[in-house]
Structure formats: C-alpha cells, structure tokens
Amino acid sequence: MTTTSVEAAGRASGGGAAGRAPAAPGGRARRRFPGRPQQWSAIGFSAPLLVYLAAFYAYPLWRNIELSLHDYTVRAFVQGDPEFVGFANHTEVFTSGTFGTALVNTALFTFVSIAFQYAIGLALAVFFRDNFRLSGVLRALFLVPWLLPLIVSSSTWAWMLNSENGIVNSVVEAFGGPQINWLTSPETALISVIIANIWLGIPFNLVILYSGLQQIPADLYEAASLDGATAWQRFRHITLPLLRPVTAITLLLGFIYTLKVVDVVWIMTTGGPGDASLILAVWSYREAFGTGQPEFSPAAAIGNLLIVIALVFGFVHLRTQRYRERS
C-alpha cells in the first residue's frame, strides 16, 4: 500500500512540490550490516543528496527567512544592504486588512475543495471497485486532469467560465439564467477557483482511495451480503471504517497540497477581483512577483507562515504513519 500511494500521490496539486511520502523506508531491514566501512560508503552515496539539500533547499530557505527579517526593496536587493527590521514584516502582514480575508479564503478554499474532492473521489472509487467492462480504461482516463500542466487546465477553465463567450454561461443562459461573471465578480470568483480545484483534485483522491479499497478483503463483503446487509450498510460498516487510515492520509496530503496552490488561482483570477479569491500562497506570490513593485519581505513573511502550517501537518503526518505502522 505504501508504495502504491507513493505513485498515486505523485502529483496532486501539480504546481507544488508533489510526490509524497512513504513511511520511513527500510526500517525493518536496518542494522543487518553493521560495520564502519559501510557507513563511509553510505555517506559517500548520499553525499550528492546532502550537498543538494544544503545548496538547493536549506540555502534558499535560509535566504527566505532572511528576506522576511529585513526590509528588502529592489534597490537593497542589488546593493545588498537591506535594513534589519526584525519581525516588523510579520507584524505588518498579520495586522493588514488583507490577512483576515486571505485567511478566511484559504480556509474556505482548502476545506470545501477537500470535502468535495474526497466525497466525489470516494464515490468514484467505490463505483470503479466492481470490475465492469472497460472500467480499467475509464479509470485511466480519469487521470487526465491530473497529468495536464496546470496552466493548461486553468486557462481552459478560465475560458469556459468567460462571461460573454464561455460555455458555462451559454448553458446557464439556455436555461433562462442570467449572465454570471464567474471570474470577475467578487461573489463568484472564489467559488469558480474552488470548482476548478475540485476538478483537479478528484483523480488524486480516486487513485488513492481506489488502491485503499483494494486492500479490503472481498470476503468481508460476501459475508455481509450473505447476512443480508444492503449496499449502504456494507459501505457504512465495512468500507468506511476499514478505509479510515487511507482516508486520514488522503485528507492530510490533500490539505498540504491545497494549502500551497498558486497556479490555478493566479491564472484564473490572480486572487481578485480585489482580494475576493486571494488565498495565502497567492498573496505571497502576488506581493513578490505579481505586481510591478515587488515586496519580497512581506511575501517572505507570509511564506514563513505557510511553512509553519506545513511543518505542523508534517508532524501530524508522521504521527499518523507511526500509528499505522504500529496497528
């Protein structure tokens, strides 16, 4: 199962670093070959990775923290003499009016997205569980949204939701509805990006939950059927409880991925109109790269907040994994 979901989780929200995390590997096999010389070759073989992590993870992250603690302007960037301001950037960010909006939007975006992705993904996984004709092919086709570059799917959604020429409004108007300014009105912008994001996340949920369903022994269902359990009862009393560990992982990873989504929102609405669809990650991107006036320091401060949230959930993830390993 572990490996299966590694593959599956390959790319959830695509734009972000995807991929995921099997339980710490090789735990059981460890300590079979003790001995000094081998430690040296182990260090040798992992040296490229260690150097890589130091140069391309630790150092950029360190620079990011440095950005957040100084007052970096474009000029200071070039001259390299920014003023140290401590936590002033953080204070500025957390007390700004945008912070509350972004926080609420992020919460809505994440939880609504995940709830629908999970529910739809689970329904589809249960549906595909019975191997009907062509089920393999159809299931593979469901992966398409997941494999497409995010810019492709986001711009397609943007055009489909276009006010005058979009297919969605064309259908709405055919049924006598009004023209809806999906992406340009503050009431619907957040809903629009959430819809697109749900669509993007369904394949990920489907794949993981489907592989989770495969772990549930078929005879349990047969026994329940013999005892006269209805389909709903089987789902309620067999599928859901036995799927709980997989559900936990799916929701957790979904949360982590959704938290760092930038592409979809940026391409569809750039967080607007105003701040109507602004989420934390997009806010950070907008401050640093989205306007003509780059504000790296506040952007980095928002980034720090995102890292802290990610770290908290990283530990939760670890605990869940440990718990799973024990049980």
Residue with tokens 């599956």: 8
DSSP state of 183: T
Q: Distance between CA 209 and CA 76 in Å, rounded?
A: 50
Q: How far is the CB of 230 from other proteins (least distance, A)?
A: 18
* Cα torsion through 113, 175, 152, 115, rounded to 10: 10
Q: How far is the CB of 286 from other proteins (least distance, A)?
A: 10
SS3 243: coil
Q: Rank residues 90 and 260 by Cβ distance to other proteins and give the closer one.
A: 260
Q: Rank residues 64 and 213 by Cβ distance to other proteins and give the closer one.
A: 64
User: Which residue stretches of the chain are H helix?
Assistant: 2-8, 36-53, 59-69, 74-79, 88-95, 97-129, 135-141, 144-147, 150-160, 167-174, 189-214, 218-226, 231-234, 240-242, 244-259, 263-268, 280-285, 296-326
Instruction: Using alpha carbons, select from 212, 289, 285, 205 the residue that is nearest to residue 16.
Output: 285
Q: How far is the CB of 228 from other proteins (least distance, A)?
A: 19
Q: Distance between CA 232 and CA 71 in Å, rounded?
A: 59
Q: Rank residues 82 and 188 by Cβ distance to other proteins and give the closer one.
A: 82
> Hey, which residues does 83 pair with through a beta bridge?
71
* 306 CB burial (10 A radius; 0-12, 13-18, 19+): middle
Between β-strands 83-84 and 70-71, what pairing exists: parallel, antiparallel or unpaired?
A: antiparallel
In whole angstroms, how far apart are CA 106 and each of 17, 158, 277, 285?
19, 20, 9, 14
Q: Rank residues 28 and 232 by Cβ distance to other proteins and give the closer one.
A: 28
Q: Rank residues 77 and 111 by Cβ distance to other proteins and give the closer one.
A: 77
Q: How far is the CB of 287 from other proteins (least distance, A)?
A: 9
Q: How far is the CB of 105 from other proteins (least distance, A)?
A: 16
Q: Rank residues 188 and 286 by Cβ distance to other proteins and give the closer one.
A: 286
Q: Rank residues 88 and 310 by Cβ distance to other proteins and give the closer one.
A: 310
Q: How far is the CB of 220 from other proteins (least distance, A)?
A: 14
Q: Rank residues 122 and 150 by Cβ distance to other proteins and give the closer one.
A: 150
Q: How far is the CB of 41 from other proteins (least distance, A)?
A: 4
Q: How far is the CB of 60 from other proteins (least distance, A)?
A: 3
